[in-house]
């Protein structure tokens, strides 16, 4: 069993001045940290779901993934900047230092914020909702641990990224 260790988030968020949707995960998995980018575990369905939802080709390289996100108006980051974690287990996370997503909200016209899974949503509510003044919309996790959700069910639910109306935005 992996040991509990203090980990710092190894990479920066992806966003630009055209990003209208922000997707937040919890913290990069061991495989993602090894691969140097978000959702790097080959069994995670994140990239396949986004490709299905947007109708775009599945990106392979980090550069292709960044271009995919930016050309789709999607910003991507995590709720946690650093934490104590055992392996990739969200359930083991303690001693959280949250990311500051306000910079993304200041620099991008983000209309909606989505959580990739309930843990990301819960941590956002605990650490970031008050400072941001924005609600988060929960989507089912694309993690392979979320076996209750088939790929087709995930893709159907995640279509909300492109179809939900934008709510009125608070000023930061």
Please check whether residue 136 lies inside any domain of the structure: yes
Residue 39 sits in a domain whose CATH number is: 3.40.470.10
Please check whether residue 30 lies inside any domain of the structure: yes
Which stretches of the chain are DSSP H helices?
Answer: 30-35, 46-54, 62-71, 102-107, 118-127, 129-132, 151-158, 160-163
- The answer to whether the CB of 168 falls within 8 A of the CB of 111 is no
Please check whether residue 170 lies inside any domain of the structure: no
Range of the domain at 48: 4-163
Cα 46 to Cα 2, 23, 40, 146: the distances in Å are 24, 11, 9, 12
pLDDT for residue 1 is more than 90: no
Domain count of the fold of the chain: 1
Please check whether residue 101 lies inside any domain of the structure: yes
Residues 42-95: pLDDT tens digits? 899 999 999 999 999 999 999 999 999 999 999 999 999 999 998 888 888 899
Please check whether residue 172 lies inside any domain of the structure: no
Please check whether residue 171 lies inside any domain of the structure: no
User: What pLDDT, on the 0 to 100 scale, is given for residue 165?
Assistant: 64
pTM across the whole model: 0.92
Please check whether residue 105 lies inside any domain of the structure: yes
- The answer to whether the CB of 67 falls within 8 A of the CB of 89 is no
Average pLDDT value for residue range 123-147:
93
Please check whether residue 168 lies inside any domain of the structure: no
């Amino acid at each position: 069993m992996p040991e509990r260790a203090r980990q710092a988030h190894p990479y920066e968020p992806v966003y630009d001045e055209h990003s209208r949707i922000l997707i937040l995960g919890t913290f990069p998995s061991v495989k993602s940290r090894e691969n140097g980018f978000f959702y790097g575990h080959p069994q995670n369905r994140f990239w396949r779901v986004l490709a299905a939802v947007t109708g775009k080709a599945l990106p392979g390289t980090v550069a292709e993934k960044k271009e995919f996100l930016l050309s789709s108006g999607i910003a991507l980051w995590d709720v946690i900047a650093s934490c104590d974690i055992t392996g990739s287990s969200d359930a083991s996370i303690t001693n959280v230092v949250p990311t500051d997503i306000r910079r993304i909200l200041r620099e991008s016209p983000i209309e909606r914020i989505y959580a990739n899974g309930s843990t990301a949503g819960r941590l956002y509510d605990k650490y970031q909702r008050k400072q941001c003044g924005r609600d988060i919309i929960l989507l089912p996790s694309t993690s392979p641990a979320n076996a209750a959700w088939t790929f087709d069910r995930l893709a159907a639910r995640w279509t909300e990224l492109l179809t939900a109306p934008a709510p009125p935005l608070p000023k930061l």
